[in-house]
Amino acid sequence: MLTDIFLIRHGEPARDPAIPYNTPPGPDLSQRGREEARQAAAFLAEKTVEHLFVSPFARTSQTAEEIVGMLPLQVSFTRLVQEHGPGETQEQVRERIREFLAAAEDSPLARIGVVSHGSPVRQLLHELTNNSLDLSKHVYNGGNPAPTCGIWHLRREGQVWRAELVFKPV
């Protein structure tokens, strides 16, 4: 049974106006983003994460590469946790998140990591906490619910999921 989810927002992207942000592959990580990902990996080192699920965008894939470079994790890429697409509504993102969570619940995994983007992270937090999580104190660059490479830990307590922002890179 799924008991813990570590939601990892990707590292800082190298912004380039010539590269569309919400269309794959999107921008690469900046050097700072790679360092943030290494810090996230160091934080996750003793969390006994069993598997890493990753959005197929460049910035999330490269964040995962840095994490897997330090931790022996199996990785699965899934479009279900990718960035919201042009014209996609938040409800459509949430529907993808529900599909992802249903598959994760059906797996034998207990502790997973998810490398994703601000919008899917927000929808996953709202979905698992039944919209009860107050994110007003967690507004970061671009209105995101986590800083780049910030990590939310969701822990199941009975039938309720508790969420805490447990890591911010320096």
Domain of residue 76, CATH code: 3.40.50.1240
Q: What are phi and psi of 86, to 5 degrees?
A: -55, 125
Q: Would you place residue 111 in the very low, low, confident or very high pLDDT band (cuts 50, 70, 90)?
A: very high
Cα(59)–Cα(9) distance, integer angstroms: 10
Structural domain boundaries enclosing 128:
4-167
Q: What pLDDT sits at residue 128? A: 97
Looking at residues 118-135, what average pLDDT do you find? 96
Q: Which residue has the tokens 């529907």?
A: 95
Q: What pLDDT sits at residue 146? A: 97
Q: Would you place residue 153 in the very low, low, confident or very high pLDDT band (cuts 50, 70, 90)?
A: very high
Residues 65-80 pLDDT 10s:
999 999 999 999 999 9
Tally the domains of the chain.
1
Cα(35)–Cα(170) distance, integer angstroms: 9
- Given a contact cutoff of 8 angstroms between Cβ atoms, the answer to whether 168 and 150 are in contact is yes
Residues 92-105 pLDDT 10s:
999 999 999 999 99
Q: What pLDDT sits at residue 124? A: 98
Closest Cα to residue 58, out of 122, 103, 115?
Answer: 115
Q: Would you place residue 25 in the very low, low, confident or very high pLDDT band (cuts 50, 70, 90)?
A: very high
Mean confidence (pLDDT) of the chain? 97
